[in-house]
Amino acid sequence: MIKIYNYPEDNITNIFTHNYLDRQDINFLVSAIIKDTKERGDTALFEYSEKFDGVTLNKENIKVSKQELANTASQVSPELLQAMRKAAQNVYNYHIKQKSKDNLHFDNGIVIGTLVRPLKRAGIYVPGGSAAYPSSVLMTAMVAKAAGVQEIIMCSPNLSNPLTLAAAQECGVQNIFKVGGAQAIAAMAYGTASIPKVDIIAGPGNIYVTLAKKQLFGQVKIDMVAGPSEIAIIADEAANAAFIAADMLGQAEHDTLSAAYLITNSKKLADKVKIELDSQVKHLDRAAIINKSLQERSAIIIVKDMAAACSVANTIAPEHLEIICAQAEALVADIHNAGAIFIGEYSPEALGDYFAGPSHVLPTSGSARYFEVLNTDTFSKKISYIKYNKQEFNKVAADIYRLANAEGFGAHAGSVKIRAPKEVE
């Protein structure tokens, strides 16, 4: 099953280098889908939905109807609905406190700073595939709502789970469309007769969705370019092997391309976790997916000490990082690359996935080196604010005049001179 490596004796670099998005064949296909959807709009959407998802769509049924939404509540148990609402409220409460505010600085006759404005319309993508993801609705739409976005729309190729629609209702999603894949991303970026053009597209998806977002960045804002899900766990000998194995299995069940890593200074713990993985996976419905993930994408890495563990974790730059060891909080200072950090035995990754509050839409595939967790700033934009009175402008006019002329922009220099001719002579 899972392999055990010793660091630095074994070369572990290739373990984390998967080049998930380096697929020219898929890039070309996605480019063609985007171009076709841009040019033919709904007609292309309907054809691709039939071809890729086996779904027959038209202008009458592409959008979830009010009746379909009304039928949702009766299909979800009161207990499940209540749990979802608690989770939604946690996400909203966390992000409303996080929301950036206007930041202006006053100095005599000068006012400079930043204005924060929410984007007008957000497009949320909720993946389909082998599972339904109502939690992803909460973790994207509630963040947009907290940011103050006026209109939220949603696209998903899989609305079979009534909780997905219930979550969308709870989050105030105004329009929901039964379309997925690269064509859904293109439709939200350019707009079609049925799907309105958005200012930002956020949410996870497969390689087609991710490459479409990447190619359309600039036409529309995107949250991040993400790949398969992953977890890394830093643990010492005293950690609970059963807990660790359960968390690794929880990540591996997402997809055969998902990855789970244990980084430990204890050979004893490494062996215990491997035994637990073998034992626990036998009882799981998605065992085939998990086993492939563990065999081909995951690893147990034995290091000499916790400093080395942090170094390896920073190299992985994991989507989720659990730290389960003595002095766990002290190690956080040495972690620079991670989407989310979970401290202690009772802060499992599943807590963040469903309930704690921070969005579970996180950078993956090592992109935590430069991307950040989905947050209210993702759904906002910052505008610079500059105000000088005449006296303060005159003080700096000569410097601006010199700099403009140095770059060869005489009209810029002229706009200064016309206001302060004596100061630039």
The 3-class secondary structure across 135-174, one letter per residue, is HHHHHHHHHHHHHCCCEEEEECCCCCCHHHHHHHHHHCCC
pLDDT at 130: 62
Per-residue model confidence (pLDDT) at position 147 = 98
Per-residue pLDDT band at 21 (split at 50, 70, 90) = confident
Which parts of 148-240 fold into alpha helices (H)?
A: 162-171, 181-190, 207-216
pLDDT tens for 385-415 read 999 999 999 999 999 999 999 999 999 999 9
Dump pLDDT digits (tens) for 152-181. 999 999 888 899 999 999 999 999 999 999
Task: Report the mean per-residue pLDDT for the chain.
Answer: 95
pLDDT tens digits for range 302-325: 999 999 999 999 999 999 999 999
Cα–Cα distance measured from residue 84 to residue 50, given in angstroms and rounded to the nearest whole number: 32
Provide mean pLDDT across the span 41-57. Answer: 95
Cα distances (Å, whole numbers) of residue 366 to 19, 210, 249, 415: 10, 15, 20, 47
pLDDT in tens, 203-225: 999 999 999 999 999 999 999 99
Question: At residue 20, does pLDDT exceed 80?
Answer: no
pTM comes to 0.93
Contacts of 58 (CB under 8 A, 6+ apart): 46
- The span from the CA of 411 to the CA of 416, in Å, is 9
The predicted structure's pLDDT at residue 131: 67
Active site residue 320: yes
Per-residue pLDDT band for 74 (boundaries 50, 70, 90) equals confident
Mind listing the domains of the chain with CATH numbers?
24-222 (3.40.50.1980), 228-370 (3.40.50.1980), 391-425 (no CATH)
With both helix axes pointing from N to C terminus, report the angle between 24-40 and 207-216 in degrees, rounded to the nearest 10: 60
Q: Which residue, 114, 169, 183, 179, is CA-closest to 141?
A: 169
Give the helix/strand (H/E) hosting 246.
helix 241-252
Per-residue pLDDT for 18 more than 70? no
pLDDT-above-90 percentage for the chain: 89
Q: pLDDT exceeding 70 applies to what percent of the chain?
A: 99
Q: What is the mean pLDDT of residues 189-198?
A: 98
Average pLDDT over residues 23-40: 96
Question: Using an 8 Å Cβ cutoff, are 344 and 337 in contact?
Answer: no
Looking at residue 204, its pLDDT comes to 92
Is beta strand 380-388 parallel, antiparallel or unpaired with respect to 110-118?
antiparallel
Which of 319, 322, 349, 360 is labelled catalytic? 319
Q: pLDDT, tens digit, for every residue of 75-106?
A: 999 999 999 999 999 999 999 999 999 999 99
Asked if 149 and 47 touch (Cβ cutoff 8 Å), the reply is no
| Backbone Cα Rg of the chain | 25
Pairing of strands 259-264, 299-302: parallel
Q: Which of 320, 322, 349, 360 is catalytic?
A: 320
Confidence band of 129 (pLDDT split at 50, 70, 90): low
pLDDT band (50, 70, 90) for residue 22: confident
Helix (H) or strand (E) holding 233: strand 230-235
Q: How far apart are the first and last CA of the chain?
A: 79
Query: What confidence tier does 31 reach under pLDDT thresholds 50, 70, 90?
Result: very high
274/294 Cα distance (integer angstroms): 10
pLDDT tier for residue 274 given thresholds of 50, 70 and 90:
very high
pLDDT tens, residue by residue, 355-374: 999 999 999 988 999 999 99
Closest residue by Cα to residue 91 from 145, 142, 165: 142
Q: What residues are paired with 321 via a beta bridge? A: 232, 341
79 carries an active-site annotation = no
Contacts of 252 (CB under 8 A, 6+ apart): 258, 259, 260, 289, 290, 293, 294, 297, 298
